[in-house]
Structure 1
Amino acid sequence: MASASISAPTVGFDLDMTLIDSRPGIHACWVELSERTGTHVDADLVVTRLGPPLEEEMAHWFPTDRIPAMADLYRELYPAYAITGTLAMPGAREAVEAVQAAGGRAIVVTAKWQPNAELHMEHLDMAPDAVIGNLWAEQKALALREHGASIYVGDHVGDVRGARFAEALSVAVPTGPCSAGELSAAGADVVLGDLTEFPRWFSDYRPGCVPARA
């Protein structure tokens, strides 16, 4: 009797500092926002703590009652100032393609406003099977569960929480603001050096059997 085949998993990926290095573009966008509003913003500081929702960063620079309008203006400026300056992270395209080549689905689940997240994928010629935006930390579990993702890859402790809340395997890369130690302490199941290590790790992955940490 032939054994049942194991279907390839759906893998979720975070966006900022996981699939893309958005620091140059986001820096430019914040500089423009600062100039237009006359509000001092330390864009160099902003890009050291990417990951949480835009409104959380806005709270450092604007009064509470101005945040909704400033967030709308930032998102309006974003396509012109943040897309072309953003680069793919090393190994990002290969990581997405490794999942798809194995017959799985690669989805992006991000806190970024979804239309801008989609623009990044189009500009960088990356083709995930779905892009879901406006979700942070535990909220990401909503999309991961809806799409049946069994793995979530991210660079932030918030991504680890999202994976664990979704009961997905947490694969972390210390390419953003969180160190490998912080990601491990938050509960990441696997910590890779960066996404260049993902295709080999994924080729060895079997559901229910976690390969050793890199």
Structure 2
Amino acid sequence: MAHMATTTQPALTVGFDLDMTLIDSRPGIHACYRALSERTGTYIDADLAVTRLGPPLAEELVNWFPAERIEEMADLYRSMYPTIAIAATPAMTGAREAIDAVRAAGGRAIVVTAKYEPNARLHLEHLGIRPDELVGDLWAEGKARALREHGAGVYVGDHTGDVRGARTAEALSVAVATGPCSAEELATAGADVVLGDLLEFPAWLAEYERSDSYRPARA
């Protein structure tokens, strides 16, 4: 009789957002918007734009360009991004420790972000942050597809859109108040847990693993 091969999934899979969760992308994005403004001759308030990071690029560009130019401007921005934004972008405080905590618990860390995936990968490689998987170009509820696909029981993000993505995926929403949304806004949006920053994540994760609410990865 033939035997079916079986695979054992790790007990824990944690998803992380990228911008303002794992990386402080404000300096690089600010510089890239200024360069785009100079290149196109179109005024862009880069100071304002970096206060509302999280949604897809097109949702910001519509504030500065007519609808028929959004695709063109997005392509131009993304082509300029690697030489302008990558080196200028540091890791968020506690980012490496958070990934390490998941690994120390025997789990997998994945990154699910709205950022253009090739540029997201450049950020992670530059900073030496190596998740088990990276999925880009997904925003808010759309992130649920990747979270479900990879069996994430927890999703960590800084935006109310990340909260919605986690809840759509039926994952625990862990919010960090390091981005454009306040701790109160994140809690009101339905986050299960709100942390000040990722330095608090390892202790929370250890407590979560001991709790009755702990949910391993789904097969």
TM interval, short-chain normalised: over 0.9
Q: CA deviation at 1:208?
A: 4.4
What is the CA-CA distance between 1:8 and the residue it aligns to? 2.8
Distance 1:113-1:208 versus aligned 2 partners, 3 A rule: farther
Aligned with 1:85: secondary structure?
coil
Counterpart position of 2:213: 209
In the other structure, the counterpart of 1:161 is 164
**Corresponding residue for 2:45?**
42
Residue deviations 1:154-213, cap 9 Å, x none?
000000000000000000011000000000000000001100000111111136427xxx
CA shift digits 1:85-121 (9 cap, x unpaired): 0010000011011101211000000000000000000
Q: Report what 2:198 is aligned to.
A: 195
Q: 1:93 aligns with which of 81, 93, 96?
A: 96
Which residue of 1 is the match for residue 5 of structure 2? none
The 5 A counterparts of 1:25-174 are: 25-174=28-177
Equivalent position amino acid for 1:38 in 2: G
Post-superposition CA distance 1:59-107 (Å, at most 9, x none): 0000000000000000000000000000100000110111012110000
Is the 8 Å Cα contact of residues 28 and 84 (structure 2) preserved in structure 1?
Answer: yes
Moved more, 6-15 or 152-161: 6-15
Gaps of 5+ in 2: 1-8, 215-219
After superposing on structure 2, the runs of 4+ consecutive aligned residues of structure 1 that deviate more than 6 Å are: none
Q: 1:10 aligns to what?
A: 13
Alpha-carbon RMSD across the aligned residues, in angstroms, is 1.2
- The residue number in structure 1 matching 2:27 is 24
Instruction: State, as a whole percentage, how many aligned pairs show the same letter.
Output: 71
TM superposition score normalised by structure 2: 0.92
Offset at residue 7 of structure 1 (A): 4.8
Cross-structure match for 2:6: none
Match of 1:3 in 2: none
Q: 2:147 and 2:191 mapped to 1: Cα distance?
A: 16
Q: So what's the TM-score if we normalise by structure 1?
A: 0.94
SS of alignment partner, residue 30 of structure 2: helix
Distance 1:205 1:80 in 2: 40
C-alpha contact 2:10 2:108 (8 A) present in aligned 1? no
- Give, in whole Å, the separation in 1 of the partners of 2:130 and 2:207: 23
Q: Distance in 2 between matches of 1:7 and 1:13?
A: 17
